[in-house]
Structure 1
Amino acid sequence: MRYGIVLLICLQIGVAQAQWKNQLPPMQIKKAQGGTICYHKPEDSNLIIPPPAAYEAWKRNPSAKTSATTFEVTYVNFSTEAQLAFQKAVDIWSGLIESPVPIRILAVWQPISGSALGGAAPGTYIRDFDGAPKVLTWYPVALAEKITGTEFNAADAPDIFAQFNSSFTDWSFRTDGVAVSGKTDLVSVVLHEIGHGLGITKAYDVNPTQGIVSDFLSGLHVPYDHFIENNAGLNLVQNFDPPSAPLRVELTSGALFFRSPLLPKNSVDNRARIYAPATFASGSSIAHLDESTYNNTSNALMTPFIGNAEVMHNPGTLVMRMLADMGWVNTRIVHTALPNTENVSSSYPVVVTLQADTKNQDGGVYSYNANEVKLNYTTNGTTFTVVSMNPTGQPNQFSASIPNGFAAYGYFISVKDNLDRTLVKPGIYTDDGAAPVQRFFSFEAGPDTKAPEISHTPKGFLLATDTELTLEANITDNIGILNALLEYQVNTGSLATAPLTLISGNTYKVTIPLPALSQGDLLKYRIKVTDNSVAQNIGALPSASTFFEVNVVGLAPTQDSYANDFNNTVTASQDFFGSPEFSVRTETGFTDGAIHTNHPYPEGQGFPNNRYEWVYQLRVPVRVKAVDATIKFDEVVLIEPGETGAAFPSEDFYDYVVVDGSKDGGVTWTTVANGYDSRDFAPWLTRYNSASSGNNSTAVGDATLFRSRTLNLQDKFDTNDEVVIRFRLFSDPGAAGWGWAIDNLKIQIDETPPTILHTHFDFVLATAPNIPLVIQPSDASGLNQLFVDVKVNGSSVQTDEIEIKENVVQYQSFISVLGGFEVGDKVEYRIRASDLAGNETILPVSGFFQVPVINFGTPVTQYITDFNTTNTDFVGNFLSITQPSGFLNNGVHTPHPYPNGFGLTNSTSSYTLTLLKPITVSATNPYIQFSEIALVEYSGTANKDFVVVEGSSDEGETWQQLVEPYSARSLTAWKNIFDVGGSGTANAYRNRLIDITSSGDFEAGDNVLIRFRISADGTGNGWGWSMDNLSIQGPVTGVKEFADLLLSVYPNPTHGDSFTLEVKGLPAQISKVQITNLQGQRLISDELSISGSTVRKEFSTAGWANGVYIVRLNLEDGSTIIKKLLKQNQQ
């Protein structure tokens, strides 16, 4: 609801009657944005301004407080002491201003960046309300409510929004007025921010080259702006057009003033200098008193900076007079404008009631001057006759008459107060760059020939189950309404009538009973209105000879699902009914049919409250399923975006689209999920904002913007509910865009294939009688068929269908070969399952599981391979020898990414690569060495999926871990790649050294099978695992890439007086240990005898200073292994 296109009234007053119309634009309301900011000064100011006398008197005698304004504060995150400080500020303001309407403040204690202490703004702006002193001017809501005595905001909407910096640590919460060095007085800051919410706020802003008026305010001003002038006395509104470079010069000139007749005159003039620094600051420029002029004076409160030890508990005389001039001291002129009349034989009495405040800006007596109540009228639009209005005998009521004898009249009422101000009704309009113009009420006298005007939103459709019809219309007439009738008929029946009744304002309403309706019936109606004129003019909508036509539609039989791609626009349309703003069609930029709103969709200038709702309803109810109860569709949404953070639904959410459901045939509706707008998808918002005219987006949607949406009926409905679905677009006034497109609608369409859980085989021993497959298929919609496809030694596929049985969870199938398995045979199999909706799952996704028939080979003492030559020494699925992109040669790789698990236990699978040759464990070199990349899923500080190396001494019956399982989180470099969804390359290889005997499960002389295993659960994965340059019990000497794995120093850092040096995997030899500091000073030089197994030796660090030390192990072959040790004593 961004108001930007506002009716601007011609300023010239002409003679023609047409130019006298629309003198007063309609009232509009706007939720506020942004606010004015108060900044902190770190130095102590040592200024104390005591509270006003009225506050001190009230504190002495609370029962004596009069004319107080009620403030209602909602606190968010405030401490008790902060609330007490806030309340003191509220109590001070309460005794200074008068308003019959409570002022509601939302006060939020939250972090604010920078040196800002706080910020505030009116919660809402109102313009062109009854009695507005200035026309087409946005008034802060608290001021508008004070002037009118009417509450505009909802009870839960703040009149002032204020925030205070919880990150600021130097608050003083004292309420006794004592200044505290190094602390900022919260009472003073709250007083300051409330001042902004009451009206010390501006519409002016700048861009890099021009002075402007805020787009948010639609190019219109706030009351404060109208009093600003430059050093030469030129009023900014009247003399400088925005946007313009000259205006920017003024706004950054350092010489702007607030001129007011109420300001105390000095030797120069009666102007207050305002803050207009050379560098414009949106949060503080213009809407403050000048810092250098008023700092450390009695008027310091409303300067832009508040320092430490600065206690200011009085707004000051300047601010009170500025607020008074804007309307906080006021005489309310209560008057109902004269309507057009056919009376030409007698004069026209004008009656007014005056309601004056009781005190002026200084707390003295305030009143109007009863001798200066004037009626100012014109009969030619150029000259005005001024007539004194006389008391009627009723309290504060005055009257005067306009003589008859003319065809058109204009008038306004003026009154002087005891401050020598002239107050008028209606108000004054000042266009940018022009002189102020007095607006006036206008009416015509003479025979009325004008028919009433009727505004009405036609009914889109009726349901066959409807038993009554309610219609509303907005009806106006220059004389008045005699009667309003609804004329209607069903099919070809007789024409019936029913009266419309005035319910509020100009809104009329009628409810008629309906006969039994059927699909295909047609109801016709029109609205006829007769006015109160002598001629009794008649208006009719749509016309005196035509009718609105409303089709009666019936719901189709309930279905379990529904789908429509809208490509056949004719048949697709037959399944829907609703507002004419929706239809199924093919639009430019789209390749086929879809549901479209009008493009663009109109602003909500209808009922109720100038809001429109267009609906498009599916005729087919859907019975809600227990599972897969989804609504899926593709859509483009170029809908006016609401304010950031606005809740759905709320005034600030503005326009939206939403999907509704009803389980009572459309009588009541529930949103299936929250509504949304262009903000829901960044490309939508970008497109919406890419082109505009005024406040409306002119950007056009196309098929490239389609995005899928899935809603769950189970979120709002229960299983077996029969629900009808409708699409709804809500539009409020002020702005609109291209609209909404919906395609490929699927309601409870099962597109999810069955799940197959199965623990697959990687090999089978020749002695096995068969391969027993255990399969656990499942599907929410029900299984239809289950198959196992088998090939043996490349034969054609043989298929075994397994019968689906009720209440059976697991199925078993056996693969066997006539005559038994032989080494070298190769069995391939896959599993297929389909559901009742025709969806199919195949496991594995491509190809077959490969199951070679094997016997394990003769044990060997070592095994070495770089995988670059043909290799048949391994068996397994999902791990293969290949060279992907990014690698210089062959290695072992999982698929990239590796597949999610599908195993019988928790959907977790093991993908293994098993070496067919057992390894006889060495007594002196029991080490496995290889390079690897493990970009495998983790969660937080734990593995989720993992990789591990395992051994078996019983031909694979049982397996023992040779190393703790690990994942991408085990190495920072891998973790960094995984966290950004990266892929492995040769640069990510790291070396691993594993001691076969370290687990204690194996010892020298054991014959151990080795396998590499990745464990994958059913959700989430990563790039995978790769291994290269495998050496099992091969020579270590000269293998430099493993050097840093052969030497360990621990603990590192060491916090005590010693550390341990550990050597493993090196052949027997005499080595030398040298330890130096970073300056090269040698601290330790010692021989270390390496035996071929793990060797450990402890060294003392007593007396060493904290710092880094270099540990060198010099080997007999001339190589050196270096480690760094950190010495760090505990504090």
Structure 2
Amino acid sequence: MRYGFVLMILLTLAGAATAQWKNQLPAIQIKKTQGGAICYHKPENSNLIIPPPAAYEVWKRSASAKTNATVFEVEYVNFSDEAKAAFQKAVDIWSSLIESPVPIRILAVWQPISGSALGGASPGTYIRDFDGAQKVLTWYPVALAEKMTGQELNDIEDPDIFAQFNSSFADWSFRTDGVAITNKTDLVSVVLHEIGHGLGITKAYDASATEGIISDFFSGLHVPYDHFLENNSDVNLVQGFNPPSTTLRAQLTGGELFFKSPLLPKTPIDNRAKIYAPANFQSGSSIAHLDENTYNGTPNALMTPFIGSAEVMHNPGTMVMRMLADMGWVNTQIIHTKIPNTENVSTPYPVVVTLNSDTKNQDGGSYSYNANEVKLNYTTNGTTFTTVSLTATGQPNQFSATIPATGSAVTYGYFISVKDNLDRTIVKPGVFTDDGTTPVQRLLVFEAGPDTKGPFFSHVPVAFVKASDSGFEVEAVVSDNIAVASVFVDYQITKSGVTGSLLTLPMNLVAGTDSTYSQTIPYGGLGLSNGDKIEYRIRATDQANSPNTKSTPAGSPGFYNVNVVSLAPTQDSYTNNFDNTVTASQDFFGSPEFSIRVETGFTNGAIHTNHPYPEGQSFPNNRFEWVYQLRVPVRVKASEATLKFDEVVLIEPGETGSVFPSEDFYDFVVVDGSKDGGVTWIPIANGYDSRDFAPWLTRYNSATAGNNSTAVGDPNLFRTRVMNLQDQFDTEDEVVIRFRLFSDPGAAGWGWAIDNLRIQIDDVPPTILHNHVDYLLSTNNILSLTIQPSDAFGLAEVFVDAKVNNGELETFEIPIQENQSEYTLPITLTGVEAGDKIEYRIRAKDASGNETSLPADGFFQVPIISFGTPVTQYVADFNSANTDFVGNFFSITQPSGFLNSSFHTPHPYPNGFGLTNATSNYVLTLTKPVTVSATNAYMLFSEIALMEYSGTNTNDFVVVEGSKDTRVTWHQLTSPYAANSLSAWKNIYDVGGNGTANTFRSRLLDITGSGDFEAGDNVLFRFRISADAAGNGWGWAMDNLSIQGPVTGVKEALDLFVSVYPNPVNGEVFTVEVKGLSARNGQVQITNLQGQQLINESLNLLEGTTRKEYSTSSWADGIYVVRLSLEDGSTVTKKIVKASY
């Protein structure tokens, strides 16, 4: 439901007031989302005492005053007795000040609130367009709406005001005697303040970073408070500024806003209330309070945004009482039944009004209406009004007048007004003010003249009935511009292809309604079965002088078709790909807006709604649900009770942050289940809309016409959804499934498509967990494989296929044992030696025939090796074949985007499958040990590490390790790292990009830096990836490895680890990046070619990577020299070009 729909209603209703209300259920959740107004603590001691009003003192002493006072009902959550007593004192003060015939319910919660907030409150429900509302299309706080209409409008279980108070605040004063305590904050004052927000001191205005807006919660409409706000130039905010706009934001943050109303006028002296509108907009405080600087320390201080210590304010103040009075808390109710349409054009039309006024004004004085100022204002052209006085009838507070007949057919509009003794004018119906426009008086409208229209219908057709039932209800709203005389339902039953005679039943007015008619069409005992049908139509006649009869549906064939269906036998599973649309349709029944068909743009059959689906406003209550039900019940399994299907959902999205179910969630789709044959239904999972998948929302918003999306779905948008029947049902429950689309007014889109339905179908192959083997020493003749195969529906077979030196494949079957999850297969090798190679794979199959292999393609490679003799250095550029390394998931290759060969993982690298938490280690091991040097113990290589990360954490990571005890223990040469270790890598990873030659970065490692190795140790080195089972990235690439080679002499290598970029500098900033030179101090000098020194500053080199940005905004174009000097005397020099073009 969007704002545009509200405007459409406004333009087409011709002034008629339409009662609508909006409940927030559950209230406390919605209020937290909405936020409400907040009162903050200020630490200073104010030493202010404002005693209770005189009305409260009278209330305390007078039993009759207590009897006549407004009733407050408070539900306390987590309140202590002393906090309750303080709360009750505030309630009693408000009870003595305001009048309402309807009890006001408050939910008060004592709970931690962050920061310096003392509490917050807001109306529990907002209601608009109730009988008596002075502002049309305006959200009234429910307590005010109930006061003005004299009726209970809110659900009795829901609070009218929700208030919360900070239990974490340590300095509360719970005293009720009005004594100010130093360094303590008076709870009575804070409660009195928060109830004021719940009664109506609340706003719909909000602000974004750049614009003034109306909060999304209010769907583009205002609250009463907004209508009284104006700036210091006398421009009303609602009438003078359109949201969203920068000009509105300037008003909301300009510090010059006022509340002007009949009781707070600007002239003859300025009595307007100045509103808190600081330059820094604060959603919980701005606009919804009196100005702090103006009223702090005055009798009107209560409703300022801050309450200090030793500040006791037990009176709202005259200003707040006048604000509330003009919003409706001092009121005269105009009770009147609208003149109905009539065929009479010759005699006058009586207008009878009863007035019900409060007894006291905002100051506690006498209040009443002026009996000489009760007026009827009518028009026949919408522009020229005739005003006549209503005169007393002799009945208490009753007045009447007549509108003269013209003798011909005409449409009349009228409104009633009355002045009170405060010189205010109250009207019925109310006034509407759209943003940026002047107020418009709305009218009550009736037509006089011959009735030739006939009744009109609002009816949701019954699409299907169950053969096992005995009848079905037909219900319709039947209205007429004069009155309805009779309503009938005609029906005929077709059994086994033979249609019976037409039968008729009267439809009866449903008790408690004025236009809803109902009747049950019986068919029990007729032996109907699946495929039979019942047809019906609704026929109505009005009370015109010449009666008009109409029926629905109109036109040919003139009947609604109701399919008789029966459930099929229960099955343990169900699957349908809908490719055979004829047979698939036999398994489903439901609303005609659903069907199984091959939609344009799709290659095969699927369930589709109508495209686009209808909006809800043409149906009763302006909303409707379409359903499509599977005839086949499914017996719920104990495990893997999954419901899966592929879908496209282009459904109107709800408001940002709205949750299912709520008024702001708007349209949705949902899958329901029933275990009683369809009598009662429950969602299997929460409903959802286009927001559930980003490509859906993008497509929905890609094309619009008015409020509707015109974007079209296609097969590329299909996404699989998985639900668990066990979330709502128990094992052995026999559940029927239905798909449901809910639509409200205002906006719609393409709709819903469903394909490949699978209920408790085992289409998932087994899972194999295994720590793969990368090599086997020539001294070992046993290849031992540990395997954890599993399947939710049970394993059938597990095999290991192996071969030696690409010879004949040999298969080993692993017998499946009950209650065993891990198996070890030792394969004895004979006659193998270093240089030979074993290949193996693992296969598993489940009872449904689903099969999986590990690895997914090919075989694990297990070379037979012997580690080489230690060397003093190792250098390789990987531009040719290299047999010095062993390890699966690494290979020397030259992918696209690279200039030469280097070691690469697969791109992307595979998810883990290891025995521990399904995490695998992909390891590349150098088979030549290196003897650690006493003077050059460094390793240097270039790399790209686009590994999965989350926030500041590494999910997957890479690490370089060494072992000096023949692989018993491994020590890290550096901390593990992933894509987030370098901004250039992170930026590529975040967009799902690929590595290229330009993204190589050099890494220099100090072999002895960790203390785990020392000169003379013979160390094996390995490069390891840790990969979990969820999520991955492009992977790892390594090139130009030098372990203690000539290039790693520190002074000679420094140039490789200092980067200056971008170069040339086209903007105003460049970065100096230093990698791998940990725990050193440096000095950066930058000069131009004339030798002028521009920068000379120290640079603390952190472990890992150090980056420092330098501004070139004041530099001329040209060449500059960047020199990094280290404390050991070594230097690195770089040149950089500044170019503005």
Range into which the TM-score falls when normalised by the shorter chain: 0.7 to 0.9
Partners in 2 of 1:971 and 1:233 — Cα distance? 58
Partners in 1 of 2:788 and 2:266 — Cα distance? 93
Measure how far apart 1:732 and its partner are: 2.8
Distance 1:891 1:865, change over 3 A: farther
Measure how far apart 1:65 and its partner are: 2.0
Aligned partner of 2:689 in structure 1 is 677
Aligned residue for 2:324, secondary structure, equals helix
1:456 to 438, 441, 459: 459
1:512 aligns with 2:514: no
1:832 to 843, 853, 871: 843
Per-residue CA deviations over 1:155-214 (Å, capped at 9, x if unaligned) read 354434556678988776654444566776554454344334333445667899998877
Partners in 1 of 2:378 and 2:929 — Cα distance? 114
Give the letter for the 2:20 counterpart: Q
Distance 1:49 1:590, change over 3 A: farther
Per-residue CA deviations over 1:262-305 (Å, capped at 9, x if unaligned) read 45998x24742533869695856665556666554433444566
Aligned residue for 1:613, secondary structure, equals strand
Aligned partner of 2:1139 in structure 1 is none
Measure how far apart 1:490 and its partner are: 1.7
Aligned partner of 1:602 in structure 2 is 614
Aligned partner of 2:5 in structure 1 is 5
1:611 to 613, 623, 628: 623
Distance 1:322 1:351, change over 3 A: same
Give the letter for the 2:505 counterpart: A
1:526 aligns with 2:537: yes
Q: TM-score, normalised by structure 1?
A: 0.74
Give the letter for the 2:272 counterpart: A
Distance 1:749 1:931, change over 3 A: farther
Partners in 1 of 2:1012 and 2:211 — Cα distance? 80
Partners in 2 of 1:473 and 1:587 — Cα distance? 33
Aligned partner of 2:660 in structure 1 is 648
Partners in 1 of 2:562 and 2:52 — Cα distance? 68
1:987 aligns with 2:1002: yes
Deviates more, 1:32-41 or 1:50-59: 32-41
Partners in 2 of 1:577 and 1:873 — Cα distance? 67
Give the letter for the 1:714 counterpart: Q
Measure how far apart 1:146 and its partner are: 0.6
Aligned residue for 2:328, secondary structure, equals helix
Per-residue CA deviations over 1:996-1022 (Å, capped at 9, x if unaligned) read 9999xxxx99xx997969797974698
Aligned partner of 2:21 in structure 1 is 29
Deviates more, 1:58-67 or 1:145-154: 58-67
Deviates more, 1:523-532 or 1:80-89: 80-89
Aligned partner of 2:552 in structure 1 is 541
Measure how far apart 1:759 and its partner are: 6.3
Per-residue CA deviations over 1:1013-1057 (Å, capped at 9, x if unaligned) read 9797974698689899798xx999x987999xxxxxxxxxxxxxx
Check the 8 A contact 1:867/1:890 in 2, yes or no.
no
Aligned partner of 2:502 in structure 1 is 495
For structure 2, which runs of at least 5 residues remain unmatched after alignment?
25-30, 1054-1080, 1083-1100, 1102-1125, 1130-1141
Q: TM-score, normalised by structure 2?
A: 0.73
Partners in 1 of 2:228 and 2:774 — Cα distance? 87
Distance 1:634 1:79, change over 3 A: farther
Query: Where do 1:213-224 residues align within 5 Å?
Result: 222-224=223-225
Aligned residue for 1:508, secondary structure, equals strand
Measure how far apart 1:476 and its partner are: 1.5
Aligned residue for 1:25, secondary structure, equals coil
Measure how far apart 1:549 and its partner are: 1.4
Give the letter for the 1:543 counterpart: A
Aligned residue for 1:365, secondary structure, equals coil
Aligned partner of 1:154 in structure 2 is 155
Per-residue CA deviations over 1:491-523 (Å, capped at 9, x if unaligned) read 211222233232232222222333433232222
Distance 1:182 1:585, change over 3 A: farther
CA RMSD of aligned residues (A): 5.8
Aligned residue for 2:1002, secondary structure, equals helix
Partners in 2 of 1:337 and 1:935 — Cα distance? 72
Measure how far apart 1:610 and its partner are: 3.2
Distance 1:91 1:915, change over 3 A: same
Partners in 2 of 1:269 and 1:5 — Cα distance? 42
Partners in 1 of 2:947 and 2:426 — Cα distance? 78
Aligned partner of 1:846 in structure 2 is 857
Deviates more, 1:1011-1020 or 1:100-109: 1011-1020
Measure how far apart 1:457 and its partner are: 1.2
Measure how far apart 1:526 and its partner are: 0.7
Aligned partner of 1:1089 in structure 2 is none
Partners in 2 of 1:474 and 1:643 — Cα distance? 31
Deviates more, 1:1011-1020 or 1:299-308: 1011-1020
Aligned partner of 2:272 in structure 1 is 272
Identity rate, percent: 64
Query: Where do 1:611-630 residues align within 5 Å?
Result: 611-630=623-642
Query: Where do 1:319-468 residues align within 5 Å?
Result: 319-341=320-342, 350-368=351-369, 382=384, 384=386, 386=388, 388-392=390-394, 396-397=397-398, 406=407, 412-429=415-432, 439-444=442-447, 448-468=451-471
Per-residue CA deviations over 1:965-987 (Å, capped at 9, x if unaligned) read 99728999699999997999663
2:726 to 688, 697, 714: 714
Deviates more, 1:975-984 or 1:273-282: 975-984
2:737 to 725, 728, 750: 725
Check the 8 A contact 2:266/2:272 in 1, yes or no.
no
Deviates more, 1:241-250 or 1:545-554: 241-250
Deviates more, 1:271-280 or 1:650-659: 271-280
Check the 8 A contact 1:912/1:1011 in 2, yes or no.
no
Check the 8 A contact 2:973/2:1007 in 1, yes or no.
no
Per-residue CA deviations over 1:230-283 (Å, capped at 9, x if unaligned) read 7787777678888999989988887766555545998x2474253386969585
Distance 1:629 1:432, change over 3 A: closer
Aligned partner of 2:1066 in structure 1 is none
Partners in 2 of 1:259 and 1:995 — Cα distance? 73
Deviates more, 1:1010-1019 or 1:524-533: 1010-1019
Aligned partner of 1:665 in structure 2 is 677
Partners in 1 of 2:350 and 2:458 — Cα distance? 31
Query: Where do 1:856-1005 residues align within 5 Å?
Result: 865-866=874-875, 960-961=968-969, 968=976, 987-988=1002-1003, 990-993=1005-1008
1:95 aligns with 2:96: yes
Aligned residue for 2:196, secondary structure, equals helix
Partners in 1 of 2:377 and 2:352 — Cα distance? 13
Aligned partner of 2:57 in structure 1 is 56
Check the 8 A contact 1:951/1:1011 in 2, yes or no.
no
Distance 1:110 1:791, change over 3 A: same
Query: Where do 1:179-218 residues align within 5 Å?
Result: 179=180, 187-201=188-202
Aligned partner of 1:1105 in structure 2 is none
Measure how far apart 1:456 and its partner are: 0.5
Distance 1:107 1:703, change over 3 A: farther
Check the 8 A contact 2:119/2:165 in 1, yes or no.
yes
For structure 1, which runs of at least 5 residues remain unmatched after alignment?
12-18, 954-958, 1044-1076, 1079-1107, 1109-1118, 1123-1131
Check the 8 A contact 2:947/2:979 in 1, yes or no.
no
Measure how far apart 1:52 and its partner are: 0.7
Deviates more, 1:415-424 or 1:519-528: 415-424
Give the letter for the 2:66 counterpart: K
Partners in 2 of 1:872 and 1:404 — Cα distance? 108
Partners in 2 of 1:342 and 1:895 — Cα distance? 84
Distance 1:929 1:83, change over 3 A: farther
Partners in 1 of 2:669 and 2:707 — Cα distance? 19
Aligned residue for 2:726, secondary structure, equals helix
Check the 8 A contact 2:947/2:978 in 1, yes or no.
no
Give the letter for the 1:357 counterpart: D
Partners in 2 of 1:949 and 1:185 — Cα distance? 66
Partners in 1 of 2:436 and 2:889 — Cα distance? 78
Give the letter for the 1:27 counterpart: A
Give the letter for the 1:637 counterpart: V
